[in-house]
Amino acid sequence: IESHRLTDLALQQAKQAADQASLAKTRYVSTISHELRTPLNSIIGYAQLLDEDDTIPPHRKQAVSVIRRGGDHLLGLIEGTLDMARIESGKLALDVKPMRFTEGLDELARMFEQQAASKGIGFAYEPQGKLPPVVRADEKRLRQVLINVLGNAVKFTRAGQVTLRVSHRRDMAHIEVEDTGPGIAAADVERIFEPFARASEGAQGPIPGTGLGLTISKMLTDLMGGEMTVSSTPGQGCVFRMRLFLPAVRAEVAQRELTRPQRTGYLGPRQRILVVDNEEVDRELLRQVLVPLGFEVHTAASGHACLAVVAGVAPQAV
Ligand code: ADP
């Protein structure tokens, strides 16, 4: 009994140490991602402003859109890293809104059609029956899951084709991605959803990847009130099946919620805003966004500077 107690104690201590290390890692990843995000937001913000600026000559527009795309891509990577940290600490919340479903699927299909064509394999999109034009979903997460599964299918298939089938019944979407690739050995089917799990190397040698995609995708489908399964005949290909809770949205509701009018100003007396930030670029960015909308913008570079001017400016918002 005594040695049992000691073993138990040691186990508890080891678990505590591991939990603490894991927490420290999650905090580190979150902090560094936030640090990267701040300057990136000014880059993307300015690129957006330049993109909408008619005085930019056409030959520079190209450069601006490269900056914008590069910025968006980086932001995506950073957010992916944050996702992992959030999922690990159980803090990820879905952002569910009306989303254009059929349009989004068409767009994805076109994107993968091109990818497949450039590899010399086929791609078929087979919507089954009538699909609702608008559903409630976290569009970004849904796309993330589909892009991962479709991306894998195209990546691992060397000949033949990838087929995407989608049907929708009683608020559930059934999505199937079938490929004619190498398939997954029975021993690996159980493991591929585990973090960093990658099937044993086949005859074709290593294929780049992190082994995190399916882990995140499966966690996300679970979060979305669904499930993801896979079946495979090694040598012939595999089928990934997803069942997702994506309730259809009625047309009039969709119409109302999906049209985003462009902001041009506001009614009523002019409002004063005091922008306080130690970064000049960020203060300027907000000024450039707010002034055209009719705000009177004042700035301060620190908390002390803010306190020194706030009474005189008497802003409606800080
Ligand atoms: P990655 O693709 O970055 O390695 P994933 O988590 O997306 O990470 O996939 C994990 C593993 O599952 C892959 O490395 C691969 O071995 C296997 N796998 C996933 N999709 C397929 C597929 N369509 N055909 C064959 N193997 C697959």
Backbone angles phi, psi at 203, to 5 degrees: -65, -25
- pLDDT bin (cut points 50, 70, 90) of residue 203 is very low
Confidence check: pLDDT of 114 > 90: no
Instruction: Round to whole Å and give the CA distance between 180 and 164.
Output: 12
Q: What angle do CA 204, 205, 211 make, to 5 degrees?
A: 110
Residue nearest to atom 11 of ligand 1 (CA): 198
Quote the pLDDT of residue 297: 96
**Looking at ligand 1, which atom is closest to the CA of residue 148?**
7
Confidence check: pLDDT of 258 > 80: no
Find the 228 Cα to ligand 1 centroid distance in Å.
14
Share of the chain above pLDDT 90, in %: 53
Is the CB of 211 inside a 6 Å radius of any atom of ligand 1? yes
Contacts with 10 (C-beta within 8 Å, 6 or more apart), sequence order: none
DSSP-based three-state secondary structure for 93: coil
Q: How many CA atoms lie within 13 A of 110 on its CB side?
A: 6
Find the 126 Cα to ligand 1 centroid distance in Å.
23
Quote the pLDDT of residue 152: 93
Mean of all residue pLDDT scores within the chain = 88
Quote the pLDDT of residue 122: 96
Answering whether pTM is above 0.85, one says no
Q: What is the mean pLDDT of residues 98-114?
A: 91
Helix intervals (H) in 52-138? 58-88, 101-119
Instruction: Round to whole Å and give the CA distance between 42 and 32.
Output: 17
Helix 101-119 with 139-156: angle, nearest 10 deg: 20
Residue nearest to atom 3 of ligand 1 (CA): 209
- pLDDT bin (cut points 50, 70, 90) of residue 194 is confident
Is the CB of 198 inside a 6 Å radius of any atom of ligand 1? yes
Confidence check: pLDDT of 127 > 80: yes
Quote the pLDDT of residue 238: 95
Instruction: Round to whole Å and give the CA distance between 163 and 179.
Output: 6
Find the 247 Cα to ligand 1 centroid distance in Å.
29
Residue-wise pLDDT for 35-45, tens only, equals 888 889 899 99
Helix 58-88 with 2-51: angle, nearest 10 deg: 160
Find the 16 Cα to ligand 1 centroid distance in Å.
33
Quote the pLDDT of residue 260: 64
DSSP-based three-state secondary structure for 125: strand
Backbone angles phi, psi at 117, to 5 degrees: -60, -40
**Looking at ligand 1, which atom is closest to the CA of residue 210?**
3
Least confident of 68-77, 117-126, 252-261: 252-261
- pLDDT bin (cut points 50, 70, 90) of residue 200 is low
Residue-wise pLDDT for 60-83, tens only, equals 888 888 888 888 878 877 877 777
Nearest to 135 by CA among 164, 175, 185, 82: 175
Is the CB of 238 inside a 6 Å radius of any atom of ligand 1? yes
More confident position, 260 or 87: 87
Residue nearest to atom 23 of ligand 1 (CA): 153
Mutate to test the pocket of ligand 1, among 148, 157, 164, 214 (most ligand atoms within 8 A of CB): 214
Which residue bears the tokens 């462009």?
262
Please report, as a single letter, which amino acid is at residue 126: E
Find the 153 Cα to ligand 1 centroid distance in Å.
8
Nearest to 224 by CA among 95, 84, 81, 132: 95
Confidence check: pLDDT of 248 > 80: yes
Quote the pLDDT of residue 216: 85
Instruction: Round to whole Å and give the CA distance between 104 and 166.
Output: 12
Find the 223 Cα to ligand 1 centroid distance in Å.
21
Q: Which two tokens stand for residue 203?
A: 């005859």
Find the 196 Cα to ligand 1 centroid distance in Å.
10
Quote the pLDDT of residue 66: 83
Confidence check: pLDDT of 225 > 80: yes
Mutate to test the pocket of ligand 1, among 121, 178, 192 (most ligand atoms within 8 A of CB): 192
Please report, as a single letter, which amino acid is at residue 190: E
